[in-house]
Amino acid sequence: MMPLAVVAGNTFVLKPSERTPLGAVRLAELFQEAGFPPGVLNVVHGARETVEALLAAPEVQAVSFVGSAPVARHIYAEAARHGKRVQALGGAKNHIVVMPDADLTTTIPALLGSAFGNAGERCLAGSVAVAVGDATRMLLDPLCEQTRKLVVGPGDQPGVDVGPLIRAEHRDRVAHYVEQGVAEGATLLVDGRTHRQRQGFFLGPTILNDVTPAMTVGREELFGPVLSVAHAQTLEKAIAQANHMALGNMAVIFTRDGRAAREFREGGRGGDGGRERPGGTTLRLFPLLGVEGIVLR
C-alpha cells in the first residue's frame, strides 16, 4: 500500500500489527535511507486505541486495511462514519484449481509454497486445492509425500521450510480447525499436529481431503499451514465452489494448455469472469493460468 499511496502524491501513516512490528520499521528505515523527506512515510505503533485514533483523525482522508473479517467490518463502518474513503479487505479462502493435464513438477511445489510458506499466515495463501476430474488420482500421493518431507523448525535455521505460528493461542486455534474438519467429514491425510509437542508455537503442514464448502475448514480462513483438498468434475464446478463462499477467491488454475480457463475468462461471461451469485450479487474472478510453469494474468 505504501508505494501506491506515495507515488499518487499522498503522505502515508502505517500502523502495523502490534504483534509483528519489525518488518514495518525496517521498511520505514529503507524509505528514509532512499532519501524520502521526513513526514512522507510515518509509522505508529499500538493496538485498538491507535486504530481508533487514526479512524477519527480529520487529517486522515482515506483508510486501507487488510486483516480478519470481523476487524475489517469494524474498520469499514467506523471509517465510513467519519466520512473517509475506505478499503477494508477481510478474510480470504483462496482456491487453486488443478486440472487433469497439470504438470505436477510445477504444480506440487507451488501448492506447498502457497499453502505452507510463512506457516500459512498470509492473506494470499492457497488454502484450498480443487482437483478436477482425474487430477484427484494423480495428485494426492505425490502431494502428501512431498508435504511429509518439509522441515518444520525455527525460521532462522538453514533448511527449514515451515516456521512457527505467531503465538500459542493461534496455533491451538488452527489445530482446533483441523479437529473440526475431521469431525465434519474430512479425511486427514497429513497430520502436522504432532509438532505441537515441541517447544515453541509449531504446527506442521497438514492436508485434509474431501473438503466441501459446507465444512468450516472449507469456508473460513484458517491462517495456518493447513491445505484443504476439494474435488470437482469440471472446471465450471470448481469455480462454482469458490463462488459459493463469501470469502471465496480463485487464485490459480494449473493446466498445460489453458483453453478451458481462457474460455471461462473471455467468453460469454462479461469478459472479466464475473459470476452471478445467489441474492443478485456478483463475485468477480480473475483466474491465473499456470501454463508450462509460467503464470499469466
- Write out the catalytic residue numbers: 123
Strand 248-254 with 93-98, pairing = parallel
What is the three-class DSSP state of 88? strand
Torsion sign over Cα 102, 103, 108, 110: negative
- Neighbour tally for 58: CB within 10 Å: 8
154, 164 Cβ separation under 8 angstroms: yes
Residues 6 or more apart whose CB falls under 8 angstroms from that of 18 comprise 45, 46, 47
Largest CA distance in the chain: 58
Cα 201–Cα 203–Cα 207 angle in degrees, nearest 5: 165
3-state secondary structure at position 33: helix
Q: What is the 3-state secondary structure (H, E, C) of 166-214?
A: CCHHHHHHHHHHHHHHHHCCCEEEECHHHHHHCCCCCCCCEEEECCCCC
- Angle at alpha carbon of residue 235, lines to 277 and 248, rounded to 5°: 40
Enter the C-alpha cell of residue 92. Answer: 480470504
Burial class (CB in 10 A: 0-12, 13-18, 19+), 138: middle
